[in-house]
Amino acid sequence: MTDISKEAMMPPRSFLSQDAVQVFYRLLAALLICAVLAVLSDSFLSLGNILNVLRQASLTFFIASGLTLVVLTAGLDLSVGANVALSACIAGTVIHKTGSPALGILTGLACGGLVGLLNGIMVTALRIPSFIATYGMLWVLNGLTYWYMAGETLHGFPAGFRQIGSGYLFGLPIPVYLLLVFLGIGTLFAQRTIWGQEIYAIGANPVAARLSGIPVARRLLLVYAVSGTMAGLASIIFLSRLNSAEADIGESLTLPAIAAVLIGGTSLFGGVGTVFGTFIGALILTLVLNGMNLLSVSANWQPLVTGIIVILAVWLDMKTRRRAQ
């Protein structure tokens, strides 16, 4: 296959600009939520609270950014939360045993990446639908983590290591820097590299992608490995921020990550969406929870409000998309 046919498979320009329009709508929605919260709560617009929201959104974003690439290929990775739990427990053990944060960080990233790679192998070589492969992986990882931890909690890590999750640099929390870096890398990778464009093409039409010479299996392996590695990164942030790890931290991370991707406008059918949209998605989810805490909304209503926001966001997305087409 020639490069020319590869070029032909790239999403046409209008696709990208439509994505830009969708991101713009989302940014408006986030700003609208901010405006409402600013009116309702005096403390919302303080610098402290804004940094607070960004730092809280970062953990969801790390997991969701890798997941975005998977969803762009019309796949899904349900094992991300369980992956964070296992990677955090293993990285934590390594730091405790060796006293070396660097070794722990590497182990956490490697563990996450390896799990992602295994997901990729199941999806490509064994041709198991990603939904089922990663759901199975979720159980395997939970089983391993529960067995390994046996009801114990790991806690107490070196002060230097803890800076990653809870430290500041020039007044900004360090996770916010990491968020900006990965937002930049993710956006550049998806929009400006051949590999990124091939990922869009695979999601839009896998058969056409294969026929035009895109190494589909290799790109899919990459995408799942990236998703796993980002879960590994999230596990390091989690460890250093909370100073501890336990087996059951994963479950409550998976759904918000998937919600961030969907609110961010990435289509479950593949080929459409952006990493920046996912960032806005994570931001909207965090803003809603932050606002409910600031306004002391009763614990009874919080899941309901979050659910409505997710449904509203996806509905609005489909409506504006249809109009654009």
Binding stretches for other proteins (CB under 8 A): 41-44, 46, 48-49, 52, 55-56, 59, 139, 142-143, 146-147, 149-153, 155-156, 166, 238, 241-244, 246-249, 252-253, 289-290, 292-294, 296, 298-300, 302-303
Instruction: State the pairing for strand pair 172-173/244-245.
Output: unpaired
Burial class, 145, CB count within 10 angstroms (exposed 0-12 / middle 13-18 / buried 19+): buried
Residue 202 in contact with residue 216, Cβ under 8 Å? Answer: yes
DSSP 264: T
Nearer to other proteins (CB atom), residue 163 or residue 205: 163
What distance separates the 2 farthest-apart alpha carbons in the chain? 61
CB of 105 to other proteins, least distance (A): 19
Nearer to other proteins (CB atom), residue 19 or residue 246: 246
Nearer to other proteins (CB atom), residue 1 or residue 132: 132
Nearer to other proteins (CB atom), residue 85 or residue 275: 85
Burial class, 31, CB count within 10 angstroms (exposed 0-12 / middle 13-18 / buried 19+): exposed
Element (H, E) at 168: strand 168-169
CB of 82 to other proteins, least distance (A): 11
Nearer to other proteins (CB atom), residue 72 or residue 247: 247
* Neighbouring-strand partners of residue 244: 155
Residues 192, 276, 84: CA angle, nearest 5 degrees:
105
CB of 199 to other proteins, least distance (A): 30
CB of 246 to other proteins, least distance (A): 7
Nearer to other proteins (CB atom), residue 216 or residue 230: 230
The phi and psi torsions of 301 (rounded to 5 degrees) equal: -95, -10
- 317: nearest Cα among 256, 240, 265: 265
CB of 24 to other proteins, least distance (A): 28
CB of 48 to other proteins, least distance (A): 6
Q: What is the DSSP string of 61-95?
A: HHHHHHHHHHHHTT---TTHHHHHHHHHHHHHHHH
Residue 171 in contact with residue 55, Cβ under 8 Å? Answer: no
Nearer to other proteins (CB atom), residue 201 or residue 239: 239
Helix axes 251-263, 275-294, angle to 10 degrees: 120
Residue 116 in contact with residue 226, Cβ under 8 Å? Answer: yes
CB of 93 to other proteins, least distance (A): 15
Nearer to other proteins (CB atom), residue 174 or residue 225: 174
CB of 279 to other proteins, least distance (A): 18
Nearer to other proteins (CB atom), residue 163 or residue 320: 163
193 SS3 class:
coil
CB of 143 to other proteins, least distance (A): 6
